[in-house]
Structure 1
């Protein structure tokens, strides 16, 4: 119940009841509400500046966690870059040197991304610099990994080719030392056994009894196994690939046929004296890119140092060939 207020009227010398007008009541009420709204706004403003809401605290924690994750990501990328740099160094200075491949230029390995701004959509945020730098670093790292991966694929292919080349090169003596009577004649100017005239002897003659096994000196495919070439009699030619061909002449008989694949050390025929031959022996030649070369340089796969030196000494003697 509202209190009734009075005022003293000096003219009537009596107390009269105060009658409040509705307009005055409304004015006071409006002023009170306006003042309340003002002070409420001030309180909310101050609270928003100095007091965090639960939602703001949650967002702040998420932001701190995101920054921490970016820092951890950058540390992991630094470790990955160190490992990748080590692989790239070995790739350029060991693998590619060994397999005779050109090194990958450093500018190609570390090239960035030119042209349009790829990171424009990441600009305008509080941590834009951190996000953009991390994104650039990650993109460059991914590109380096792709370059290195392709390089290792190339090295693997070169290694496979190198292995095939080493298996293909005619690298062993075609007649075992235990079966040899002697190494009769080497590559170079020799006396012809029939005309007694000095002429070029394009291979090496290994004397051995008729029927002595003859072995393929490297992997390859039998190109010929016939007696259609003048002077060679029964002979075999093996195409080793990479420009190498080996020839085995004056055979007694064959153990292979044309187009047959053979491995180094496979039995391909037997020593004989067919064709233009003075006595049972194997005439052995090597071709490289169509040119006849000295077979003396291709026995690293079967002879000891002492055996090779002895063969080299005999091969340099200007004696009489057997064909």
Structure 2
């Protein structure tokens, strides 16, 4: 119960009850409510600055996560681009040059994408610009990787051909040095043993005892193993591919062949044996090398099993003009 207040009235010389005016009471209450609301609003604004709501905190965390992921992906894309650029450089400056392939222009490797907007679905968001930039970088990397992959497939085929070429080129002597009596005659003009005229000798003659093994000088397929060519007697021809063919003549009469027509042989395989059949003066092997159907000097194809000293000695003997044995 509220207390009743009194005041002393000097005119009436008595105490009078204090009467409170309703208007003043209403104004005070109104003013109190106004200031209470104002204080609460200000406190709400301050709390919003200092303390986030759970939803706002979650939204901020998600935004921060997206920012971090975009930054991380952009760094990874840049690292991948550096790696691919290094591979492309080696592909152009080493691999393709080594295998006689035309380098791929940078314009072709780095070309973008024309036509319709490929990134329309990524537009309309706060991070659209950054997301589109990352996506575009990834698409360009994919294209560069596809081009590089195709290039390496091409290089693999060329490398296989190169490997086959190196294995197929006639690169060793058809008769081992330790089996030779001597190198009788080389490529060039020599005296014919039968009519004593000066005549061009298209091969090299290796003298050796009858039955000495004769080796295939490169990988290939036996094209002929017969005596149906004038002057060569029992002989073998091997097609090495890549335009190369070798001929081994004057093989022995008794079981001259260790191979048959159509058989695939490897460099170093024994294909026959030294003899003196056909137009021959003494047991020896007449050896010829053909490139694209033209006879060439076999002296250039012995790098596979001769030391530099042995090759120089063979070269010196092959250049001497003497009497050939066929």
1:92 counterpart residue number: 92
| Corresponding residue number in structure 2 for 1:261 | 264
Q: TM-score of the superposition, structure 1-length normalised?
A: 0.83
Q: Distance in 2 between matches of 1:200 and 1:111?
A: 60
Partner of 1:277: 280
Structure 2 CA distance for aligned equivalents of residues 147 and 294 of structure 1: 43
Q: Secondary structure at the match of 2:271?
A: strand
Deviation at 1:321, TM superposition (A): 1.1
Aligned to 1:27: none
Provide, for residues 112-145 of structure 1, a one-character-per-residue CA deviation record: whole Å limited to 9, x for no partner.
1112221122222211110111111010011111
Partner of 2:19: none
SS in 1 for 2:221: strand
| Secondary structure at the counterpart of residue 250 of structure 1 | strand
Is the partner of 1:55 in helix, strand or coil? helix
What CA RMSD, in Å, does the superposition of the two structures yield over aligned residues?
A: 2.3
The CA distance in 1 between the partners of 2:59 and 2:293, in whole Å, is 78
1:185 equivalent to 2:188? Answer: no
Match of 1:318 in 2: 321
Q: Take 1:59 and 1:69, find their aligned partners in 2: how far apart are those partners?
A: 15
Q: 2:27 aligns to what?
A: none
Q: Establish whether residue 251 from structure 1 lines up as the match of residue 254 from structure 2.
A: no
> Structure 2 unaligned runs (5+)?
1-29
Please say if 1:116 is aligned against 2:116: yes
Secondary structure, aligned partner of 1:254: coil
Q: CA shift at 1:248, angstroms?
A: 0.2
Counterpart of 2:289 in 1: which secondary structure? Answer: strand
Query: Aligned-pair distance for 1:176?
Result: 0.4
Q: Give the Å deviation of 1:49.
A: 8.5
Q: Which residue of 2 aligns with 1:17?
A: none
Equivalent residues in 2 for 1:76-87 (5 A)?
76-87=76-87
Residue in 2 aligned with 1:7?
A: none
Partners of 2:270 and 2:283 lie apart in 1 by 18
The corresponding residue for 1:232 is: 232
Pairing of 1:145-164 with structure 2 (within 5 A): 145-164=145-164
Work out the CA distance in 2 between the residues paired with 1:177 and 1:114.
67
Q: What residue is the counterpart of 1:142 in the other structure?
A: 142
Q: Distance in 1 between matches of 2:114 and 2:265?
A: 54
Cα distance in 2, alignment partners of residues 257 and 81 from structure 1 = 56
Aligned-partner SS, 1:190: strand
Summarize deviations over 1:35-62 as a string: whole Å, max 9, x none: x9xx99xx6xx86986754223212211
User: Which of 296, 299, 305 does residue 296 from structure 1 map onto?
Assistant: 299
What do residues 250-306 of structure 1 show as CA deviations (whole Å, max 9, x unaligned)? 000111111111111011100011011111110000111111111110000011101
Number of aligned residue pairs: give it: 286
Task: Give the alignment's TM-score, normalised by structure 2.
Answer: 0.83
Give the deviation of 1:214 after TM superposition.
0.4
Please report how far the alpha carbon of residue 106 of structure 1 lies from its aligned counterpart in structure 2 after TM superposition.
1.0
Give the match for residue 309 of structure 1.
Answer: 312
Gaps of 5+ in 1: 1-31
SS of 1:228's partner is: coil
Which residue number in structure 2 is paired with residue 200 of structure 1? 200
Deviations 1:184-226 (A, max 9, x none): 1111111111111212211111111111110000111111000
SS at match of 1:248: strand
How many angstroms does 1:307 deviate by? 0.7
Q: How many angstroms apart in 2 are the aligned matches of 1:59 and 1:143?
A: 36
Q: Judge which range, 54-63 or 294-303, deviates more.
A: 54-63
**Distance in 1 separating the partners of 2:113 and 2:304:** 51
